[in-house]
Chain A
Amino acid sequence: MINLAGRDILHSWSKFVLTGLGLGLLIGVTFTMAGVYRGMVDDAKVMLNNSGADLWVVQKDTLGPYAESSSIPDDIYRGILGMRGMAQAANVSYLTMQVRKGDTDVRAMVVGFEPGQPGEPSYLVAGRRITRSHYEAVADLKTGFAVGDRIRIRRHEYAVVGLTRRMVSSGGDPMIFIPLKDAQEAQFLKDNDAIVNQRARIAANPALNRPGVPGLLEAINASQTSNRNVNAVLVRVADGHSPETVAQDIRRWKHLQAFIRAQMEDILIAKLIATAARQIAMFLVILTIVSAAIVAFIIYTMTLGKIREIAVLKLIGTHNRTIAGMILQQALGLGLIGFAVGKIAATIWGPFFPRYILLEPGDAVRGFVIVMVVCTLASTLAIRAALKVDPATAIGG
């Protein structure tokens, strides 16, 4: 017996391949959407990995510093360092802002860190680490800056001395690392008019501007314009200690919240990108339905175009199951072409996306199964139409 489906495909291969191509692009979009989600999850994990921290200590009752804002005094890390099981503890601050780059600006997350401490980017792809305590920066490749470029953040210019890869915030904004002191200043810096205005108000307050207490007004003014807060303390736990026990100690004795790596991952993935994930899931569902509808319509119209031949085939004694098999095989063939085209397309266009797209082999396998199931379901419409064809129509009237 010859394979009727195969012969039909060979006979009208151009139509078949073109439809498969169109379907494939749609499947490629679907894979990419899944890749966007996987990329977001992976970005979060890479970011946590590269920070080199075991614990994130943040303001009490918050899910900071990424999912909620958190503010803690910048001297608290000393107390934490004194606790049992500590290897390192360091302040970090995070500030998302538009950073000038030539004539345009790029959206970036400015990270303040202390050199040699947790929070410092662990791998550089170019340049060197920050060695001065002011006005040097390490930028992520995605910002578009190169080593030697100058970045303007608020009032100061920073020289880019090193580059990282895949250091992005959960919003997908690339990171720029600068010394903590600079970052604290950038975060809370007021403009000159505001400072003048505030000084005048303090000077006009008789409770603060007391005659006979020299230096009080200056001290108050100084305290108003400097920033003594950071967003989190990153902790590295000493060998042989469990991060969870240390975190419990911090929660109990310091009145702060402390998250271990697994909790932080959960916050980033389950909470922070939950809405984005649901958005993507919705897209996936719709794209799957659209793909199914397209396969169904195409196979259906292809079958309607063959009604006469099907009637003849039935009249000369072809089994219904042979005819159903022919249509099913064509649907699966279309799905196969679509899957291959989709996989290739997603791989080709993935790197051009602003955010990292992670195409997991497991997703490809799941996608393949779904495509085949969808094609099978989609072919039932056409199969029903074909089975209803009356062989008498071949004889005519």
Chain B
Amino acid sequence: MNKEIGIHIEGLSKRYGEGATAVDALKEVNMSVAPGEVVGLIGPSGSGKTTLLKCLGAVIEPTQGRMTLGGDVIYDNGWRISDLRVLRRDSIGFIFQAPYLIPFLDVTDNVALLPMLAGRPNGEARARSLELLQALDVAHRASAQPSELSGGEQQRVSIARALANKPPVILADEPTAPLDSERALAVMRILNQMATQYHTAIIVVTHDEKIIPTFKRIYHIRDGRTFEEAGEGRALQ
């Protein structure tokens, strides 16, 4: 696996529906994110942000183009991977607007579930989980139920979950939307830390004015087309 390529997209298009009602949600999108980099994806409502994440996340099929994740071509005018489920499990971490933790598993197992799904023994998976929880400063809540956590803690657990299988790519859809500005900046600091520490390429879809200045690089998307721009890259302490 060529670790120098995080995410690379060339000429990616996505059309929903057919004929008169067809919607071209993505039009020849180009984008690349290096390992260890956190880029923002910003655009008005309906511009195609979520569609792009879903294509990258291998839950919807693009219409055409080429996608490379962590060095592997996963799509080239057709899927190049036979088991998308395994791709999602091992190579992509997802962070959602809401944490969506599994309510019937405690914090440790919410994170440990991913290595377990990948076939790791329970002990090893839980050790990995605790390591991540420690890094994200929620280890003291390790045996709590998700419902007993604050919103910020839940979001940090969901970040730990996204990192659990050391995926080369993390896709985050408005991860700071429900958080106040202090917490939102904290999440961005964590994401940047994790990107550096684990060499992960991270795309953050956001509307959030508070965190936009933190990106070094930003992709704007409008009517399904992307434009790259340098961000302020404001330091996070």
Contact = CB atoms under 8 A, between A and B. Distances in A.
Nearest to B171: A395
Contact of B54 (A312, A314, A318, A392): A392
A7 B105 contact: yes
B50 A316 contact: no
Interface string B15-53: 000000000000000000000000000000000001001
B88 A315 contact: yes
B118 A317 contact: yes
Contacts, number: 76
A322 B114 CA distance: 13
B57 to A, nearest CB: 6
Interface stretch (B4-12, B89-97, B181-189, B223-231): B89-97
A201 B122 CA distance: 101
Q: What's the interface size class on A, roughly?
A: 20 to 34
Contact of A395 (B85, B96, B104, B145): B96
A394 B100 contact: yes
B236 interface: no
B89 A396 contact: no
A207 interface: no
A266 interface: no
B96 A2 contact: no
Given A8-B104, A316-B89, A395 B122 contact: no
B223 to A, nearest CB: 17
A392 B59 contact: yes
Interface string B139-162: 000000100000000000000010
Contact of B104 (A12, A390, A391, A397): A12
B221 interface: no
A10 interface: yes
B161 A316 contact: yes
Contacts of A7: 104-105, 109
Interface in A301-315: 308-309, 312-315
Contact of A316 (B88, B105, B112, B122): B88
A317 B89 contact: yes
Name the residue in B59, B96, B105, B109 with the highest tally of chain A Cβ atoms < 10 Å from its Cβ: B59
Interface of A: 1-2, 4, 7-8, 10-12, 308-309, 312-319, 322, 390-392, 394-397
